[in-house]
Amino acid sequence: MADLTTDFLGIKSPNPFWLASAPPTDKEYNVRRAFEAGWGGVVWKTLGAEGPPVVNVNGPRYGAIWGADRRLLGLNNIELITDRPLEVNLEEMTRVKKDYPDRALIASIMVPCEEEAWKKILPRVTETNADGIELNFGCPHGMAERGMGSAVGQVPEYIQMVTEWCKQYYDRPVIVKLTPNITDIRFPARAANAGNADAVSLINTINSITSVNLDAMAPEPMIGGKGTHGGYCGPAVKPIAMNMVAEIARDPETAGLPISAIGGVTTWRDAAEFIALGAGNVQVCTAAMTYGFDVVKEMISGLSEWMDEKGYSSIGDFKGMATPNVTDWQHLDLNYITKAKISEADCIKCGRCYAACEDTSHQAIAMSDDRVFSVKDDECVACNLCVNVCPVEGCITMEEVPAGQIDQRTGEVVSDEYGSWITHPNNPMAAAK
Amino acid sequence: MAQSHQASGIQAGRLSAEDIATNFEDLHAPFDAHEAAVAADRCYFCYDAPCMQACPTSIDIPQFIREIQGGHPTAAAKTILEQNILGGMCARVCPTETLCEEVCVRETAEGKPVEIGRLQRYATDAQMAKGAQPFTRAKATGKTIAVVGAGPAGLAAAHRLAMLGHDVVLFEAKPKAGGLNEFGIAAYKSTNDFAAREVDWLLQIGGITVEYGKMLGDALSLDELAQDYDAVFLSIGLGGVNALRAAGEDMSGVSDAVDFIAELRQADDLAALPVGRNVVVIGGGMTAVDAAVQSKLLGAENVTIAYRRGRDAMGASRFEQDLAASKGVKLMFNVMPKALHGDGAVSEIELEYTSVVAGRVTGTGETLRLTADQVYKAIGQTLEGQPDALDLEGGKIKVDDAGRTSVTGVWAGGDCASGGEDLTVTAVAEGRDAAMDIHASLMG
Ligand SMILES: Cc1cc2nc3c(=O)[nH]c(=O)nc-3n(C[C@H](O)[C@H](O)[C@H](O)COP(=O)(O)OP(=O)(O)OC[C@H]3O[C@@H](n4cnc5c(N)ncnc54)[C@H](O)[C@@H]3O)c2cc1C
Ligand SMILES: Cc1cc2nc3c(=O)[nH]c(=O)nc-3n(C[C@H](O)[C@H](O)[C@H](O)COP(=O)(O)O)c2cc1C
Ligand code: SF4
Ligand code: SF4
Ligand code: SF4
């Protein structure tokens, strides 16, 4: 049996599945239920400075997009940080950590960008015995207008400065949560690293408008006829989050900086993919909000099943294994040649591959009168579009043309040598071989 | 005292009014908006879709389902009705299991087709709920066309001709339009007087005058019609029925299934409709199944379908057979009627086992008797009352692909014409196509 125990920054948890700072972790009641369901840790809903708490809107705060059968694919929210008094949250955190010593409990914090504010709150957090803190430099709405959240996360200098304060006034691990609402994620990560952060976590939500009400002519969720952009999360953002995780993992300046990956984790596979790209654990919000806390059970059983199949005995065994294989386009081997192949036995004859290739790709699929679909090797550029539109998984495969054989499209023999754009004759900058 | 299943003879009121009402509810309940969304989601929007190929009226099925997905059932209805103006009835009565849904790629993929018929009903119901129809007439052409018979074929032809700007006079022998939609289709497929409502809705296009009680052959001859009108379309269906040719056929209690069904369809109160305790239906097509199932739903205790060939040869689809079985109808194969016994009224039917040798049915000599106080003959309808001038083919009016008969200026379609299956949807297709050909030949 694979061991899912995770040691992230010295913080132990029975599995790598933490709940991200969000409504699922906003109260003692929820967090106890989450731990009972099996979650390895939680990042408590972001705390604000002492005093009257923030207020939320009293109209709808979520918007969504759906796939077939109304499966929720993307969620958008305009919620702020916790709207409960700091005192109450701290008391609850203390109690919960005491009752669940084996689970990770992280305090998420967002206070104004002033040293005093951080200096004031950090000792209070220390008293809860939380395992660490996460600096919320990510929320893209509401708090950003007040100079916090993503307003800080978009300025690397501020990130470094606040991280330094935290390292000065707090002696447990400091995780910096990054906003994806920035052009190049490596800069804020480098800033956190420079400020001596113990880890980064990402992504927070992405600026978004999920829908427009065409009667009221206003974005949704709509509050009294107006809307504002929210933060986007859920399965739809996972590809964006994965790229950002990989960018940080393979950046020489931040290589080795621990990463807590967030964004669209819904099943064990999502977690495995993030970990393979270099994450030390994952955080989950939307999947729990969509299906309830019990989703973690499949994540746990699925991950351990897969690790057993692969012979991995611990998370560390496969962590970062995919990172070295993330490269730049210019290094891809142009002598690697494949062709699409349709399995007639699996084909249900919907014709989607044909429509896609004929109308928008390379006219490389033939359709007979009795609806037999086949790939024309002399036209196929191996784009993979047909594979992606085919409703039957595994029906169309991409088959490698081995070296020495002729590529029917170009009429040339497939080379057994690696050859990238860097050395390609069409590249005006090509380095001589 | 209410009669029961067991009351002997032919009796009304075997079931309570409530039970009868429940029994005759929609065979396939209409989708609500959520069900329609879930069902529509399953469509793959196939290229050159097999379902569309299988539809005799070539409805663009992926297109209309996509319009339902997009939240516009009335746009979907227009897509349907452009091809098939009786799309509402077809959604209810088409044997989809042998047409579009049989070839749906999701039937191939997982044995569960997209529920095209019910989605079509969802869309067309939405359109009918609006009252209006989405079509208007083209500029008047000054041509007038006679259409004989107001069944699906006649209605489809009349509508298309009216739309193209022609005037239409629709001659119908009966006092009501709709043909078998009104008098033949099983009651649980066309509930709430749908057939009549659909006819009223269809006629809103304008330009169609219906002359009820006008029968071709009586005071109306083909010669006159051909003289008085710019073109004639015949859609008189199959008015006759095959005889049993078994001894005792004329006893009371023995009747034609189509007459029983017509009576049932026109009854104001189904609980008042008499039915036997032991009913035997002779035949193997849709009519046999409908007569048997509806007898059962009225409260008959034992209902048997006696078919002279094997299951595979049965005209009724497997779905229809299973429907009958699920309602408690017993299906007997390879038996044929030999004689009917009784004293004035039938009390027993004598059947002989058969074997089919080289396609021909022959008796084996072994017989059995079933108690029967009611016997329905459902062994096929025949052409009746067709004008002598027309060439026939296989017992039907001979037509070419465009619906032209052997007489210039006269077209025919639907059950009365050669070619195509005897289905509502085929009748609609033939009516529509003949109208297009009439239009083309009149407008040059
Ligand atoms: C019991 C039964 C159940 C059926 N169930 C189904 C089903 O579930 N699904 C399906 O697709 N199909 C079904 N069918 C077949 C379908 O009803 C027919 O194929 C379809 O109605 C044929 O249409 P039509 O317009 O050609 O003829 P009809 O519907 O028969 O209409 C002919 C019309 O012409 C009129 N007429 C006849 N003679 C004259 C004349 N001399 N002058 C003037 N008017 C005349 C008639 O009164 C009638 O109104 C069923 C048939 C029967 C009998
Ligand atoms: C309603 C809602 C409220 C959130 N509030 C916070 C918050 O207070 N602090 C924070 O750091 N992130 C917050 N987030 C962001 C999540 O922690 C997480 O980064 C994001 O949802 C992506 O993960 P997911 O795809 O698993 O949902 C919130 C997300 C949602 C949906
Ligand atoms: S891989 Fe691309 S080019 Fe080749 S058949 Fe598929 S869609 Fe066409
Ligand atoms: S998309 Fe897939 S199932 Fe559909 S025709 Fe092409 S190969 Fe067959
Ligand atoms: S065959 Fe089925 S899946 Fe394909 S278009 Fe028709 S209904 Fe949709």
Taking the centre of ligand 5 as the mean of its atom positions, its distance from the CA of residue B106, in whole angstroms, is 7
For ligand 5, mutation pick of B42, B55, B61, B64 (most atoms within 8 Å of CB): B61
What is the per-residue pLDDT for A193?
A: 98
Distance CA A207, CA A180 (A): 9
CA atoms within 13 A on the CB side of B388: 1
Q: What is the pLDDT at residue B444?
A: 85
Q: Phi first, then psi: give them for residue B367, nearest 5 degrees.
A: -125, 165
> Cis link prior to A235 (omega < 30° from 0)?
no
Lowest mean pLDDT of A143-157, B273-287, B406-420, name the range.
A143-157
d(CA B199, CA B181): 10
Decide whether any atom of ligand 4 lies within 6 Å of the A347 Cβ.
Answer: yes
Domains of chain B: 33-129 (1.10.1060.10), 144-238+387-443 (3.50.50.60), 241-379 (3.50.50.60)
Q: What residue ranges define each of the domains in chain A, with the CATH number in brackets?
A: 6-325 (3.20.20.70), 329-423 (3.30.70.20)
Residue of A nearest to B62 (CA): A350
Tens-place pLDDT, residues B312-361:
999 999 999 999 999 999 999 999 999 999 999 999 999 999 999 888 99
Residue whose entry in the numeric block shows the structure tokens 């199932």:
B293
Instruction: Look up residue B227 and give its two tokens.
Output: 């003289």
CB contacts, 8 Å: B46 with chain A: 349-352
- pLDDT 10s digits, B352-390: 999 998 889 999 999 999 999 999 999 999 999 999 999
Query: CA dihedral in degrees (A328, A331, A336, A340; nearest 10)?
Result: 20
By the 8 A CB rule, do B162 and B85 touch? Answer: no
Q: Which of A356, A140, A107 is nearest to A237 (CA)?
A: A140
Q: What is the pLDDT of residue B1?
A: 40
DSSP-derived pairing of the beta strands A338-342 and A218-220: unpaired
pLDDT tens for A131-158 read: 999 999 987 777 888 888 888 899 999 9
pLDDT in tens, B71-126: 999 999 999 999 999 999 999 999 999 999 999 999 999 999 999 999 999 999 99
Shortest Cα distance, chain A CAs vs residue B43, angstroms? 10
Q: Is the CB of A357 under 6 A from ligand 3?
A: yes
How many interchain CB pairs under 8 A, A with B? 35
> Hunting for tokens 């669940």 — which residue is that?
A100
Contact: B47, A355; criterion CB under 8 Å: yes
Ligand number nearest to the C-alpha of B422: 1
Q: Which residues of B touch A386 (CB under 8 A)?
A: none
Distance of CA B355 to CAs A86, A106, B280, B321, B364, Å? 89, 82, 20, 21, 7
User: Percent of chain A, pLDDT > 90?
Assistant: 94
The mean per-residue pLDDT over the stretch A186-211 comes to: 97
- Beta carbon of A395 within 6 Å of any ligand 2 atom: no
Distance B37 CA to ligand 5 centre (A): 15
- Give the number of the atom of ligand 4 that is nearest the alpha carbon of residue A390: 1
> Buried b vs exposed e over B216-247: b needs ≥16 C-beta within 10 Å?
beeebebeebbeebbbbbbbbbbbebeebebe
With an 8 Å Cβ cutoff, is A229 touching chain B?
no
* Least distant ligand from the CA of B281: 1
* A113-A115-A119 Cα angle (round to 5): 120
Q: How close is the Cα of A68 to the center of ligand 1, in Å?
A: 41
pLDDT tens digit sequence for B239-264 = 999 988 888 999 999 999 999 999 99
Cβ-contact A75, A237 below 8 angstroms: no
SS3 sequence of chain A: CCECCEEECCEEECCCEEECCCHHHCCHHHHHHHHHHCCCEEEEEEECCCCCCCCCCCCCCEEEEECHHHCEEEEEECCCCCCCCHHHHHHHHHHHHHHCCCCEEEEEECCCCCHHHHHHHHHHHHHCCCCEEEEECCCCCCHHHHCCCHHHHCCHHHHHHHHHHHHHHCCCCEEEECCCCCCCCHHHHHHHHHCCCCEEEECCCEEECCEEECCCCEEECCECCECCCEEEECHHHHHHHHHHHHHHHHCCCCCCCCEEEECCCCCHHHHHHHHHCCCCEEEECHHHHHHCCCHHHHHHHHHHHHHHHHCCCEHHHCCCCCHHHCCCHHHCCCCCCEEEEECCCCCCCCCHHHHHHHHHCCCCEEECCCCCEEECCCCCCCCCHHHHHCCCCCCEEEEECCCCCEECCCCEECCCCCCCHHHCCCCCCCCCC
Q: Please report residues of A whose CB lies closer than 8 A to that of B45.
A: 352
Question: Which residue from B38, B45, B106 is facing A69, i.e. has the nearest CB?
Answer: B38
Is residue A350 annotated as a catalytic residue, yes or no? no
Answer whether B138 touches A (CB < 8 Å): no
For residues B77 and A302, give the distance between their C-alpha atoms in angstroms, rounded to a whole number: 46
Is the Cβ of B37 closer than 8 Å to some Cβ of chain A?
yes
Give just the sign of the alpha carbon dihedral A280, A286, A292, A298: negative
Is residue A345 predicted with pLDDT exceeding 70?
A: yes
Q: Starting from the CA of residue B106, give the closest ligand.
A: 5
Angle among Cα B37, B41, B45 to the nearest 5 degrees reads: 130
Nearest residue on chain A to B48, judged by CA atoms?
Answer: A351
Rounded Cα distance between A380 and A350, Å, is 20
Cα A175 to ligand 4 centroid, rounded to whole Å = 47
Q: How many CB atoms lie within 10 A of CB B2?
A: 11
Is B50's CB within 8 Å of A349's CB? yes
Q: Which residue of B has its CA nearest to A370?
A: B50
Residues of A in contact with B50 (CB under 8 A): 349, 371
Q: Is A372 in the pocket of ligand 4 (CB under 6 A)?
A: no
pLDDT number for residue B117 = 98
Best residue of B45, B72, B105 to probe chain A, by most A CBs closer than 10 Å: B105
pLDDT digits (tens, 9 = 90+) for B121-157: 999 999 999 988 999 999 999 999 999 999 999 999 9
Determine the distance separating the centroid of ligand 5 and the alpha carbon of B180, expressed in angstroms: 29
How far apart are the C-alpha atoms of B351 and B361, rounded to whole Å? 13
B348 forms beta bridges with: B341, B371
Give the 3-state secondary structure of residue B444: coil
Whole-number Å distance, alpha carbon B32 to ligand 5 midpoint, is 20
Atom 6 (ligand 5): residue with closest C-alpha?
A: B51
B100 CA to chain A: closest CA distance, Å?
A: 14
Q: Choose the mutation target among B35, B42, B44 for the interface with A, i.e. most A CBs under 10 Å.
A: B44
Say whether A352 and B41 touch across the interface (CB within 8 A). no
B3, pLDDT greater than 70: no
In angstroms, rounded to a whole number, what is the distance separating the alpha carbons of residues B207 and B157?
A: 13
pLDDT of residue A431: 62
